[in-house]
Amino acid sequence: MSDDEAAERVWLLDSPPHELVRETPGDPVSGPRQDLPEVRALREEGWHLLDPDVVADAIVAAVWPTGRRTWVPDRAVPTETLWREDGSELQRPWNDRLRDDIESDVNGTLEAAGLPPRPRGRLWFVTLPKGQRDLNRYLAGIRRRGQRAGLSGRSNDPQWADFLKRTVEADFAAE
């Protein structure tokens, strides 16, 4: 399988975003991603937002079953907090170097785990198997199962990514 075919299979490159934003995704917005109207709407429908700046969440997005994940364009403008000498804070948009560093870290870990680099500018959402309500608790349970099976649970471990994929698929199949 070519790199392009692998990227298409994993990242749904030809698939449209969730229907909530197919018409007009809107302009960039300052502030937390959780405050975007489309994020709030998807969360109300039972979707769980994965943090695009967290490597472990990128692995989850890559291996989650296709029919149980979706994406929307990331319109949020991430900011960093700077503290002034007087104790006040200043919110400043990330510069291109910081964005590139985070993207490089995430894609480097994906590649180490045997997965293709992700497309930029997407927010990924997943649904949970029946009976699960909390994504972090569910993933922590999978991590414990993996550790009992002798896996490191490190994001850059190809065996961990495969175990996560197989476990989640099995949990959905058991519904």
* 126-170: pLDDT as tens digits: 999 999 999 999 999 999 999 999 998 888 889 999 999 999 999
Q: Is residue 170 part of a domain?
A: no
Q: Is residue 168 part of a domain?
A: no
Backbone angles phi, psi at 77, to 5 degrees: -105, 100
* 40-97: pLDDT as tens digits: 999 999 999 999 989 999 999 999 999 999 999 999 888 888 888 998 888 888 888 8
pLDDT at residue 29, as a whole number: 83
Number of H helices, E strands in the chain: 6, 7
**What's the total number of domains in the chain?**
1
Domain that holds residue 30: 3-129
3-state helix, strand, coil in the chain (%, to 5): 45, 15, 40
User: Which residues 6+ apart lie within 8 Å of 5 measured at CB?
Assistant: none
Q: Is residue 143 part of a domain?
A: no
Distance of CA 8 to the CA centre of its chain: 16
Q: Is residue 144 part of a domain?
A: no
For residues 116 and 33, what is the distance between their CA atoms, to the nearest angstrom? 24
Q: Is residue 111 part of a domain?
A: yes
pLDDT at residue 124, as a whole number: 96
